[in-house]
Structure 1
Amino acid sequence: MKIKHFLVAIVLAGFPSFVSAQLLPYQNHELSAEERAEDLCKRLTLEEKSLLMMNGSPAIERLGIPSFDWWSEALHGVGRNGLATVFPSCIGMAASFDDDLIEEVFTAVSDEARAKNTLARREGKNGKYKGLSFWTPNINVFRDPRWGRGQETYGEDPYMNGRMGLRVVKGLQGDGTGKYYKLHACAKHYAVHSGPEKTRHSFDIERLPARELWETYLPAFRMLVKNGKVQQVMCAYQRFEGSPCCGSDRLLNSILRYDWGFDGLVVSDCGAIGDFYREGRHEVSKDAKAASALGVLSGTDVECGGVYKNLPGAVKRGDVKESDIDVCVKRLLKGRFELGDFDPDSIVPWTSIPMSVVGSVKHRELARKMAREQMVLLKNNGILPLSPDAANIMVMGPNAADSTMMWGIYYGQPAHTVTALEGLNARTGRKLPYARACAVTRMTDQESVFGNFHCSKGKGMEASYWNNTGMSGQPDVEVVYTSAISLDNGGNTAFAPGVNLTNFTTRIKGTYTADRDEMLRMVYNNDDGLRIIINGDTVHNRWKTDPLNFRDREFAVEKGKKYYIEVDYMQLEDDATLNFDILRSRDVTPADAVAKAKDAEVVIFIGGISPVYEREEAKVNEPGFDNGDRTSIELPEPQREILKALHSAGKKIVFVNCSGSAVALTPENDVCDAILQAWYPGEQGGHAIADVIFGDYNPSGKLPVTFYKNDSQLPAFDDYLMEGRTYRYMREAPLYQFGYGLSYTRFDISRPVYSNDKIKVRVKNTGKVAGTEVVQVYMRRPADADGPNKTLRGYARVTLAPGESRDVVIDFPKHLFENWDEKEQEMRVVPGEYELMVGSSSADRDLKKIKVKI
């Protein structure tokens, strides 16, 4: 070994600092991250700097810089990176009102993420979704239930989003006491963003009162930046006051950098810089060079996309200075040094986390615990809990046996998913009668028979991907699909890791073995080129640029016969969509459901909506949905009609609603004996549903969003004014209030006492079973006539045995009285009289009030 290489090796192994003099400053891990970033930036060419500023940064071998991808997902578990524990959706976790458990969940998530990254780097397979930078949490205020991405948030209250977001950040990044961050978390989408999805690339929020900006849309971001030291902030797609958020000097420089002192990274939402100049989008820049310059000058350090490759040309043209680019590059290099990206595993303690944590028994138990706590009991006329030994129970509903529904959106791949049907069967110890009854949005009974496919790699269909449009050369990526194919590049999501977002092809093939004589339905939708070949016969061929199409083809099969099916897809422009499945289906009526339930006394109906339709830029043709948002918050009509028919037939109904947002359940409140809000409950959700229904767990969840009575209670979706929205500004009674949720026991909460920056109440369990209550604290300033009805300022969980009483003390420091001062045009604690309200929900009837002077 040459002496130079030997010296480098022993320094990297942690030998004393005298040897480090042989290294260049940026290679010396004993220097600060800032010093190393300053040194390395000086050694980079302009072209290299621009490459480092894109999310998929290639290796720069001459300087020993490894490849790095800033884009990984961990919304509620490590996403899009193979095996991982899938926890409940974020909106569900918010319903737990359990900050400690949320931190525990994201500590588990970061353990899995670090272990997977360490293995990927050692195998030379690091890349998109496999990195150390995770673009979560989403702390946008869920202002309108029609927004399909609201399920990614922690509800409609600014304080709650901030408080829970802080614990997500801590769980992901670590406590900040060590030399290296465990991961980078990212607060998104900054700012004033919550739909509609359809217009987000061109929409301008032109006029927003200062009060609403500072009191509703910014507080959570401010909390994570100033109190949580979040290392990344993602700017949003839309325009705010005429400027795209990723090109807004006011948002990114004046407020974020200067007012709040943020010194971390700003990353763009995917494709957001391209929106600056592309036709039909914001069109505020004349071309890609101008767009890249605007992004840099506004403070966007890392671009998710490819526009920043134009930065050298922008410098040459005079649109931006290289010194401006250096500011961004130093920040991103500092971030990588603080993650230990340049340093050996031996000195980065997080790299010792073993792969055995991924999908471990401990994490599965944690997923079940969270799924239990996030269940919200909305109605119970005494029917619950059911006895697991009770006869004549039947399970129905389109979501009862749907495993992928449980995962929500932005998910990983669990080792096993416990569906509601599986969980109910496991708890009763028998196979309960089951009928799907209808589809989520249509009066059809159908099932996928995709499970009858086999390929050379086993069960399912095998797919080969080429990052070209000619299927030429060796495939770049190969995967196997074991369930219905549902793919799109919404949110700039690749069909599979390593596949281009555009200009790619795939061949998906498998052999279908018929298990009966029947007429099946082949359903598929796509944009651009598609060929379908069955036993050598081409039954569909549109191999060209093509708009999104939805198609349906009958497909006759004979028992025992094999059918070789090949699906070829070519993506050429803009959006990419490919869905393919083979279904058994038939039209049904509510009377059919009643007939199937003729022997049942109690029907557990697992319904609601689905993340297939409710998600980022979903491209499906279903009534009630548009581009991932909802056009109506009512329960889909087929389910509503079946529930009504079952009730009329004298059946007792336990309705389990699965959704990522509020559903208007006014008719269901009349016909169902019990309603349980299950959200999208994750891989252990089926067990959790059974735990609550059969009384093994006493529900304690509370609504983090208002459940409106019907569509008529909603203001216009694209109106960002808060009047009439959420519990804070709604003037009429909703169906179920924010903070509402029933238990199998009852609690009494005393009148509060406020003293020494603390609120104290006494809580008593007046029922016959142990249970947990969530004590909630709200505040308002009576003199503030234009302010919110009330606003959440604290909460605490308390678990009590029957008859037990306990004092609950909640910190309430002076800064929590902060609100908007119209006269001074700022957020501050205005001296005067305040009203504190403490109780079990935001409803006035559930609150006890005191007045205090500040």
Structure 2
Amino acid sequence: MSRFLLFVAVLFLFAGCGTPTSNSDDSEMDVFVSDLMAQMTVQEKIGQLNLITPGGGIPTGSVVSTGVEEKIKTGKVGGIFGVYGPEKTRQAQQLAVEESRLGIPMIFGSDVIHGYKTTFPLPLGLASTWDMELIEKTAQIAAKEATADGIFWNFSPMVDVSRDPRWGRISEGAGEDPYLGSEIAKAMVNGYQQNDLTSTTTMMATVKHFALYGAAEAGRDYNSVDMSHLRMFNEYFPPYKAAIDAGVGCVMSSFNDVDGVPASGNKWLLTTVLRDMWGFDGFVVSDYTSVNEMIAHGLGDLQEVSALALKAGLDMDMVGEGFLTTLEKSLEEGKVTEEDINKACRRILEAKYKLGLFDDPYLYFDNSRPENDILTDEHRQVARQAAARSMVLLKNENQLLPLKKTGTVALVGPLVDSRSNMLGTWAPTGDFNLSVTVLEGFQNVVGNDVNILHAKGANISDDPAFAEKINVFGPKIFIDERSPETMLREAVSVSRKADVIVAVVGEATEMTGESSSRTDITMPPSQKKLLRELAKTGKPLVVVNMSGRPMEISEEVELADAFVQMWHAGVEGGNALPDVLFGDYNPSGKLTATFPVNVGQVPIYYSVRNTGRPQDGDTFQKFKSNYLDAPNSPLFPFGYGLSYTSFEFKNLSIDKATIANNEDVKVSVEVTNTGDFDGEEVVQLYIRDMVASITPPLRLLKGFEKVFVPKGETKTVEFTITNDDLAFYHSDLSFYAEPGEFEIYVGGDSNASLATKFTLE
């Protein structure tokens, strides 16, 4: 402890010299870290590169750290995750600070993906709000709760662009678009870090998974990625760079290989792009045992792949302990240098400095905070708002919705009363027992006005072998003791007594997420059969789909009179659904990932490039780029979502028809609420480069604004198109706009037809 206090004294000495500025802060940090490193042995430096878990969280591999206490005492641990609560985290920190030779504090991390105890909709759902202020607020709340529980380093945001709904982890990101993904990345980083890492209510964010994890071949998790550098920089890299530009403190490398080299050992990714091109000055952590997994990739034994990772620019090894057990030998054999080790160690120590740990290593371990700061009524209210705003109305035949708060409603489906499936995937710090089910939500919101009938109707799946795969972290699919026929008869009987049926169907939590890729993204047969029978009753049918990915739902949409994409909506999802269905909230969510007609269209996304034989419309044309058995168009496009009201776009104008290279274009459009309800619309602006040196996408999102428009009123929405909005990466990776004609499209989804054009000279 005395050595630690010596370091603190040095810190205060430098902190008192002059008025602090960014440069002076960096200088003080450099001196402090250099002084500390001068006292460290090589083994202690390597210890700082070791991230361990005692197994308290959700392991995503077969390895859990052992001998944790002894390793901490001997300076062999730089960080830890899977330990929760200020008492336990303080005890672990005391081992490092009071019993190791130099008393260097540890960093405490966790996966806080869509909330801590207050679980918000899963990220694909949150993205569907198109509400950056709300998304930032959810991250801010997550940071406040996590830090109250002793966690101040977050393995979030996940910003991987994905265009393949077969991939289970599409649920954790913002969908298919790099522009929207970039805006959300910035909002999340700002929410977590709030530009002040020394605050006790903020946490260091980690952007992941660098890079291209969402483009795994065949949508199969951990699979290879092979694409041109042009596509990387133009379509997949922007959200990572946006997070870097927002000041994110940490980057996590991905499991997959890129250009044939696994990301955790890929120097082009971790050094050339991340540091040399983008100027990232934080530290890089591997994903769970991804250093060790390079052995299976075929790059060598543990010593060889650990040396490769370190020299590539990886700073911290998560769980695998390849660094801890092999780097000293590699140093002796000349496979790594002490400078390689010093660079990585310095970055870890700098992160701890920025977090204020050398000032107070117990900064985040206040026993009074959990009761006051975690899962508060205020936080639950934000979660309810986020859940309602994330839901996307996909169909509303004959204005069935909103429902009237009278009569009898039949609540049918395996997810009506399924508490364990409300939170969604990757909510390791959430407690599903605290979530509100759909049945409870209906009782809370309309129970005094509406007669509510309930029947399960079907299992999520009738297949025990499939259920076993899903239930690895606890029961999510419950196979009822009753026969499927008995449950189905009960559901039909109950439905015939109702004025309207609300069927809540979809996926169990673990049917999406990590290691949950699916080749079949249709509704499970048990639920498909249920919906067919409910439709035969002739009663108005509202189908609510609870899922973590776009699904193949063509038949289900056809059967339904109204269809709502609910996602896994979090701890307050059960209350939010009736808020939407009964009109207390007018839905405003918009899809951020395209819904295919069938899985054969996958990967599918809006920003396609034309072929030399483009199809005209959706009618099959021989020798054109189309299918014999399906349209090119999706079931629902990117940006799509209905409201209980209607909106008209008109009077699209620009301030100049021709601009010079350094000029902006001002765009304005009028949005009129032509329906019977107040409502919000996401006004979306797309740009098309008509002629370019590489084949341009047919359109790209370059602006959006979510606006509230009272019924009968008109609002003017304005955008500014900058030169960067027109620019793209070229074959030499230079980034600039080419002169020529550009078209602008404005509307409520990616099929927007209101258009104008301008020319860049």
- What is the TM-score of this pair, normalised by structure 2? 0.82
1:343 maps to which of 351, 354, 359: 359
The aligned residue for residue 496 of structure 1 is none
**AA partner of residue 851 (structure 1):** F
User: How far is the alpha carbon of 1:382 from its aligned partner?
Assistant: 3.1
**Does residue 710 of structure 2 align to residue 810 of structure 1?**
no
1:93 maps to which of 126, 151, 170: 126
Query: Does the CA contact (< 8 Å) of 1:146 and 1:630 recur in 2?
Result: yes
The aligned residue for residue 76 of structure 1 is 114
The aligned residue for residue 510 of structure 2 is 612
**AA partner of residue 270 (structure 1):** Y
The aligned residue for residue 47 of structure 2 is 51
User: How far is the alpha carbon of 1:300 from its aligned partner?
Assistant: 0.2
Query: Does the CA contact (< 8 Å) of 2:225 and 2:257 recur in 1?
Result: yes
- Distance in 2 (CA, whole Å) between partners of 1:747 and 1:161 is 25
1:356 match: secondary structure = helix
User: How far is the alpha carbon of 1:608 from its aligned partner?
Assistant: 1.1
User: How far is the alpha carbon of 1:395 from its aligned partner?
Assistant: 0.2
Between stretches 780-789 and 391-400, larger displacement belongs to 780-789
> Structure 2 vs 1, CA of residues 223 and 36 (structure 1 numbering), >3 Å: closer, same or farther?
same
2:504 match: secondary structure = strand
The aligned residue for residue 219 of structure 1 is 238
The Cα offsets for residues 753-808 of structure 1, whole Å up to 9 and x where unpaired, read as 23344321111111121100100011111114722221111110110111111211
**AA partner of residue 638 (structure 2):** F
The Cα offsets for residues 479-500 of structure 1, whole Å up to 9 and x where unpaired, read as xxxxxxxxxxxxxxxxxxxxxx
1:243 maps to which of 261, 271, 274: 261
**Does residue 120 of structure 2 align to residue 102 of structure 1?**
no
The Cα offsets for residues 362-416 of structure 1, whole Å up to 9 and x where unpaired, read as 1111101111111110000134434453223100111111122111122123472
**AA partner of residue 72 (structure 1):** S
Query: Does the CA contact (< 8 Å) of 1:33 and 1:334 recur in 2?
Result: yes
The aligned residue for residue 686 of structure 1 is 574
- Distance in 1 (CA, whole Å) between partners of 2:4 and 2:335 is 46
Q: How do 1:513-528 residues align onto structure 2 when only pairs under 5 Å count? A: none
> Structure 2 vs 1, CA of residues 174 and 350 (structure 1 numbering), >3 Å: closer, same or farther?
farther
- Distance in 1 (CA, whole Å) between partners of 2:304 and 2:473 is 30
- Distance in 1 (CA, whole Å) between partners of 2:359 and 2:168 is 41
**Does residue 508 of structure 2 align to residue 635 of structure 1?**
no
1:676 match: secondary structure = strand
The aligned residue for residue 625 of structure 2 is none
**AA partner of residue 373 (structure 1):** R
The Cα offsets for residues 464-491 of structure 1, whole Å up to 9 and x where unpaired, read as xxxxxxxxxxxxxxxxxxxxxxxxxxxx
Q: How do 1:238-637 residues align onto structure 2 when only pairs under 5 Å count? A: 238-277=256-295, 281-285=296-300, 287-305=301-319, 306-309=321-324, 310-344=326-360, 355-411=371-427, 412-414=429-431, 416-430=434-448, 432-442=452-462, 584-589=480-485, 590-617=488-515, 628-637=516-525
- Distance in 1 (CA, whole Å) between partners of 2:666 and 2:175 is 25
User: How far is the alpha carbon of 1:614 from its aligned partner?
Assistant: 1.5
- Distance in 1 (CA, whole Å) between partners of 2:131 and 2:609 is 25
**Does residue 165 of structure 2 align to residue 145 of structure 1?**
yes
Kindly report the root-mean-square deviation, in angstroms, between the aligned alpha carbons of the 2 structures. 3.3
- Distance in 2 (CA, whole Å) between partners of 1:674 and 1:366 is 26
> Structure 2 vs 1, CA of residues 385 and 69 (structure 1 numbering), >3 Å: closer, same or farther?
same
**AA partner of residue 253 (structure 1):** T
**Does residue 636 of structure 2 align to residue 733 of structure 1?**
no
> Structure 2 vs 1, CA of residues 383 and 641 (structure 1 numbering), >3 Å: closer, same or farther?
farther
- Distance in 1 (CA, whole Å) between partners of 2:572 and 2:377 is 11
> Structure 2 vs 1, CA of residues 329 and 9 (structure 1 numbering), >3 Å: closer, same or farther?
closer
- Distance in 1 (CA, whole Å) between partners of 2:638 and 2:4 is 64
More strand by share: 1
**AA partner of residue 49 (structure 2):** M
User: How far is the alpha carbon of 1:45 from its aligned partner?
Assistant: 1.2
The Cα offsets for residues 97-116 of structure 1, whole Å up to 9 and x where unpaired, read as 00011111111111112221
- Distance in 2 (CA, whole Å) between partners of 1:205 and 1:244 is 10
The aligned residue for residue 850 of structure 1 is 757
- Distance in 2 (CA, whole Å) between partners of 1:725 and 1:637 is 27
1:215 match: secondary structure = helix
- Distance in 2 (CA, whole Å) between partners of 1:614 and 1:18 is 50
1:659 maps to which of 533, 547, 550: 547
**Does residue 207 of structure 2 align to residue 187 of structure 1?**
yes
**AA partner of residue 238 (structure 2):** P
- Distance in 2 (CA, whole Å) between partners of 1:173 and 1:91 is 21
The Cα offsets for residues 663-685 of structure 1, whole Å up to 9 and x where unpaired, read as 12211222101000111101111
> Structure 2 vs 1, CA of residues 741 and 155 (structure 1 numbering), >3 Å: closer, same or farther?
same
**AA partner of residue 48 (structure 1):** E
Q: Show structure 2 runs of 5+ residues with no match.
A: 18-23, 53-76, 79-95, 616-631, 656-663
The aligned residue for residue 479 of structure 1 is none
User: How far is the alpha carbon of 1:85 from its aligned partner?
Assistant: 0.7
The Cα offsets for residues 243-286 of structure 1, whole Å up to 9 and x where unpaired, read as 11111111111111111111111111111100122xxx20202x
- Distance in 1 (CA, whole Å) between partners of 2:248 and 2:26 is 24
Q: Show structure 1 runs of 5+ residues with no match.
A: 22-27, 79-83, 118-130, 445-521, 526-547, 552-575, 618-627, 716-723
**AA partner of residue 191 (structure 1):** A
> Structure 2 vs 1, CA of residues 852 and 645 (structure 1 numbering), >3 Å: closer, same or farther?
farther
User: How far is the alpha carbon of 1:812 from its aligned partner?
Assistant: 2.4
Query: Does the CA contact (< 8 Å) of 1:591 and 1:645 recur in 2?
Result: no
Query: Does the CA contact (< 8 Å) of 1:114 and 1:350 recur in 2?
Result: no
Between stretches 695-704 and 595-604, larger displacement belongs to 595-604
Query: Does the CA contact (< 8 Å) of 1:100 and 1:167 recur in 2?
Result: yes
**Does residue 689 of structure 2 align to residue 789 of structure 1?**
no
User: How far is the alpha carbon of 1:606 from its aligned partner?
Assistant: 0.5
1:629 match: secondary structure = coil
Between stretches 769-778 and 784-793, larger displacement belongs to 784-793
Between stretches 327-336 and 590-599, larger displacement belongs to 590-599
2:434 match: secondary structure = coil
More helix by share: 2
- What is the TM-score of this pair, normalised by structure 1? 0.74
- Distance in 2 (CA, whole Å) between partners of 1:342 and 1:699 is 48
Query: Does the CA contact (< 8 Å) of 1:181 and 1:339 recur in 2?
Result: no
> Structure 2 vs 1, CA of residues 30 and 165 (structure 1 numbering), >3 Å: closer, same or farther?
closer
> Structure 2 vs 1, CA of residues 606 and 44 (structure 1 numbering), >3 Å: closer, same or farther?
same
User: How far is the alpha carbon of 1:751 from its aligned partner?
Assistant: 3.7
1:840 maps to which of 737, 741, 748: 748
- Distance in 1 (CA, whole Å) between partners of 2:476 and 2:139 is 34
> Structure 2 vs 1, CA of residues 851 and 668 (structure 1 numbering), >3 Å: closer, same or farther?
farther
Query: Does the CA contact (< 8 Å) of 1:608 and 1:659 recur in 2?
Result: yes
- Distance in 2 (CA, whole Å) between partners of 1:158 and 1:18 is 42
Between stretches 35-44 and 62-71, larger displacement belongs to 62-71
- Distance in 2 (CA, whole Å) between partners of 1:786 and 1:729 is 6
Query: Does the CA contact (< 8 Å) of 1:388 and 1:428 recur in 2?
Result: no
1:683 match: secondary structure = coil
Query: Does the CA contact (< 8 Å) of 2:460 and 2:478 recur in 1?
Result: no
